[in-house]
Amino acid sequence: MSFAGVSLIRDGRLRPSGSAINDTGAASGYHLLVVEGYSCIKHILKGSPIESRSFRVGGYLWSLKYYPNGSPWASPGDVSAALVLAQDVAKPVKAQFRFSFIDQSDKQESIHTRSGGGAFRDKSREYSNTLTSKDALENSKHLKDDGFTLRCDVVVVVEDVVNARGTGAAPPFVTVPPPDMQRHFTDLLAAQEGTDVKFKVGGQTIAAHRCVLAARSRVFKAELFGPMKESTATARAIHIEDTEPRVFKAMLAFIYSDSEPELEKEDGEDAMWQWPQLLIAVDRYNLQRLKLMCESKICGFIGVNTTTTILELAENHHCDGLRKACYNFLGAPGNLRAVAATDGFDDLITSHPSVMKELIAMLAP
């Protein structure tokens, strides 16, 4: 079976690869998903995946999804993985697959396997398997130095195709590359070519493209083109209050790339407080996908000394998933008592009476 590349997930983020997509040139191949920094992602909400880069087997593009807390169809506490067809196809593609944990990627010795298969009809179809329970993974030899390696073997079922003359046809010779529109838009922002709107953010002037912002955010569309438009003159800057330049730039990076942005970190700053600042900004501009990314990141920082602040953030900005994660933490033995003794808990109860009602309901027999 041919090697179809490797994806590295470090601290919950897919790291870029310096190599091109491996083309195995065969109907079977395997891809390795290396996860480092498991402790940073184990609290991701159920149904939230981390996706590999694309790889090619059997002439088709595929990707893997790793669900640290189970796929939407798995039981709570499970660890799941899925194979996804990463391109549009005219006809369903039949494939068999097998997931396995391997102790060392250089040895590539399968230890624990789950198999499946089916007809992949489009990019929205995925086939997932429950690999093991979260507790079992954390107590197994697969998890070493806060990381593990997952292998996926893929076999594409090649069926004979008969052409108009009745002769067998070989698999397609034309390979369509994956979409790269996001890269072009990101390059456009970086080059500052054709910008037609300026923002004044914390003393810095940041330029962008009106049409891109309007296409991605209904709030920007209303501000830039609707009755409440901020400015019709390209030379006049729109002032943005209560937002740091680095936060606004991170939001723009997402708007142009649709990918999780890099957040600039100041010396001595706790990484936990970067994501709440971004969440507040994106909530203002109704960027729901990025808002959910922020919620997922903040879930990893829930603890005794942070729950009060995070729960208030969730209440103020209607973050249902983040709110549930906080109550899940408070429901663990001893956590509510410890959080109640921290500064700010009484203020939270006073400003958000619904929190007290939720806690009473949670503690009721």
- Number of Cβ within 10 Å of residue 169's Cβ equals 11
Q: What is the pLDDT of residues 243-270, one digit of tens each?
A: 999 999 999 999 999 998 988 777 666 7
Which CATH fold would you assign to the domain 302-365? 1.25.40
Beta-ladder partners of 319: none
- Could you tell me which CATH class the domain 180-264+271-290 is placed in? alpha beta
pLDDT in tens, the chain (365 residues): 788 889 999 888 888 765 545 554 578 899 999 999 998 888 888 888 999 999 999 888 999 999 998 888 778 788 899 999 988 888 889 999 999 988 644 444 444 567 788 888 887 778 888 888 888 888 888 898 899 999 999 999 876 544 445 555 445 566 777 788 888 999 999 999 999 999 999 999 999 999 999 999 999 999 999 875 654 445 588 999 999 999 999 999 999 999 989 887 776 667 678 899 999 999 999 999 999 999 999 999 999 999 999 999 999 999 999 999 999 999 888 999 999 999 889 999 899 898 888 888 877 66
User: Does the reported pTM lie above 0.85?
Assistant: no
CATH class of domain segment(s) 2-160: mainly beta
Give the start-to-end residue ranges of the domains of the chain.
2-160, 180-264+271-290, 302-365
For residue 147, give the nearest of 233, 26, 41 by alpha carbon. Answer: 41
